[in-house]
Chain A
Amino acid sequence: MDELCTGLCKLMAEAGADVGLAQFVSLLVGVLLVSGVPLVTVILLIWVERKVAARIQDRIGPNRVGPLGLLQTFADMLKLLSKEDITPTAADRILYNIAPLVSFASVVLIWAVIPFTPFHYGVDLEIGALYFVAIASFGTLSIMAAGWASNNKYALLGAFRVVALLVSYEVPLVFALLAPVMLAGSMSLVDIVNAQTGMWFVVLSPLAFVIFYISSQAETGRAPFDLIEAESELVAGFNIEYSGMKFGMFFAAEFLHVFTNGILMALLFFGGWMGPLFYESPLIAFAWLGVKGTIIYLTTLWLRNTVPRLRIDQIMAFNWKFLVPLSIANLIFLSLALKILQELGMAPRDLIGASFAEVLPATIVMLLINLAMTVYLLGIMRKRGREARRESQAGAALARAGAAGD
């Protein structure tokens, strides 16, 4: 029996089943389980999101269907399913119908590489981090296809704005993603988590985490970057012509994407399944990952419901003039510091399995570098803010003078 056949497959083969069949069945069960987790989670997530938003806005939120309104999503799903399935006459039929599927699949496919525990994952790809970025590009594609295939000018305008936003924020996202990859010396998500036994990467590179957090908030199209559904400006954005379950797919994809990003950040920066007693049982490891991911997810909801929407030019200026240079500088300083520390013998060459004491000196140096960069950045931001204020005050004074002169 080869190494491909372990676990369930091995049990079945020992019970007398054909090895090929056993392999197929166990793979099928694995695929169903891995894709089932996000599909079931999203039903609950919609309830969580609405309830949290309601509480922040001093409302009660869904509370009629089931205890605490837990079954509200099922009622909504039934409503969406029973609606008429409309395809506009002038739409590009095939693209119009495929776009929501691609949108949802682009999020579910990320879960293939997410390690739930040290031993339970869909697949431990050698290029896990890069796979995540590559799959995300399908999401961009689906929005473009939806906007164009609808044959509606508002949908197309919405798609233009969103794709410009997504393509731009992919740049700092990838640069920030390189920080954990560089620290771990591997793109595999399992290796990245294993490299955090000594110290979480959020301590080693807090700036990378902040950049990743901001850009993933933009990638999911949440406030302050919610150009995707700027109702007051775009009618509804790229999905204006969609109704029923096809709209529901876009909706579910967005909600799931936010949670997926929470889990990803927990894996990349917060040690994934690491926590007290995680080696005792895979269930405890899984619970730690869930707790960390959920806390990050809740902070994104909090942010979404607190800040107002930015204008598109402000979003673009913030990205290209601030976030991208910052992420590049962060990467340069990080790699330099890491190499120098390794040459001096202050940091282990391989962080996988390194203990807390081994990583501590490197952590202190890294933290100091990050602190220095943050102080410098805050100085720049303060100067820019002052200049902008002075300009706007001067403009207002001019306007007053002009009005008085008439």
Chain B
Amino acid sequence: MELNAVTIGFFIFSVFTLGGGIGVVTTRNLFQGTIWLMVSLFGVAGYFVLLSAPFLAAVQILVYIGAIAILITFAVMLTRSVTRIRERYIRTVPSFVASLALFLVLLFGVTVPIFGEQNPEAIPAFVMTTRDLGVALVDADGYVAPFLLASILLTAAMIGAIFIARDEES
């Protein structure tokens, strides 16, 4: 691996992503945990930039940091004890087994060529622009069906949430 700007960027963002993840699971303070989660998600946005997908990077920040993480902070602050949590997670053995299995599967999938020979040179030097992404989402030959299905699902979920949260008398 040669040392260039992309490689350095990759390592910096990896530190953000993994360090943030470690912060989330080790801190005894729920609010700091959400901040660490945002650091981790920010690192993932950096990966998208390195992969020439600026649209996904911006959406990652907008949706995960701007919306979801802010909602989590709201929820965290409405809980009784935010700092100095004493409860410990007790199901360590199943968690350990599950994460080890996931790690091995990923390692196996990356290193062993199950889906044919991996050849980095074979990937066409084609950079997908934001316009291409937009066209693919509404093109009949592209992903219009999954896109519409996801939209309907989200709308249904939203209406359901409003219905559940509504007062009985109103």
Tell whether A pairs with B: yes
| Contacts from A to B (Cβ < 8 Å) | 92, 95, 125-127, 130-131, 133-138, 140-141, 144-145, 148, 156, 160, 163, 167, 170, 186-187
Set of chain A residues within 8 Å of B58, measured between Cβ atoms: 127, 130-131, 133-134
Out of A135, A156, A187, which one reaches B130, CB within 8 Å?
A187
Please report the C-alpha to C-alpha distance between residue A95 and residue B131 in the assembled complex, in whole angstroms.
39
Please report the C-alpha to C-alpha distance between residue A137 and residue B66 in the assembled complex, in whole angstroms.
5
Please report the C-alpha to C-alpha distance between residue A187 and residue B73 in the assembled complex, in whole angstroms.
30
Please report the C-alpha to C-alpha distance between residue A284 and residue B29 in the assembled complex, in whole angstroms.
54
> Could you say which interface size class chain B belongs to?
20 to 34
Are B77 and A148 neighbours in the complex by a CB distance under 8 Å? Answer: yes
Set of chain A residues within 8 Å of B129, measured between Cβ atoms: 126
Out of B59, B70, B131, which one reaches A141, CB within 8 Å?
B70
Are B130 and A137 neighbours in the complex by a CB distance under 8 Å? Answer: no
How does the 8 Å CB contact mask read for B39-74 relative to A, with 1 for contact and 0 for none? Answer: 000000000000000110011011001110110011
7 residue pairs of the A-B complex, CB under 8 angstroms, read A92-B29, A127-B58, A131-B54, A141-B38, A163-B74, A167-B67, A186-B131
Minimum CB–CB distance from B60 to chain A (whole Å) comes to 8
Are A134 and B62 neighbours in the complex by a CB distance under 8 Å? Answer: yes
| Contacts from B to A (Cβ < 8 Å) | 29, 31-32, 35, 38, 54-55, 58-59, 61-62, 65-67, 69-70, 73-74, 77, 129-131
Knowing A141-B38, A148-B31, the reply to whether A134 touches B74 (Cβ < 8 A) is: no
Are B62 and A145 neighbours in the complex by a CB distance under 8 Å? Answer: no
Minimum CB–CB distance from B24 to chain A (whole Å) comes to 15
Minimum CB–CB distance from B37 to chain A (whole Å) comes to 12
Please report the C-alpha to C-alpha distance between residue A138 and residue B65 in the assembled complex, in whole angstroms.
8
Are B73 and A144 neighbours in the complex by a CB distance under 8 Å? Answer: yes
Are B54 and A125 neighbours in the complex by a CB distance under 8 Å? Answer: yes
Please report the C-alpha to C-alpha distance between residue A187 and residue B131 in the assembled complex, in whole angstroms.
9
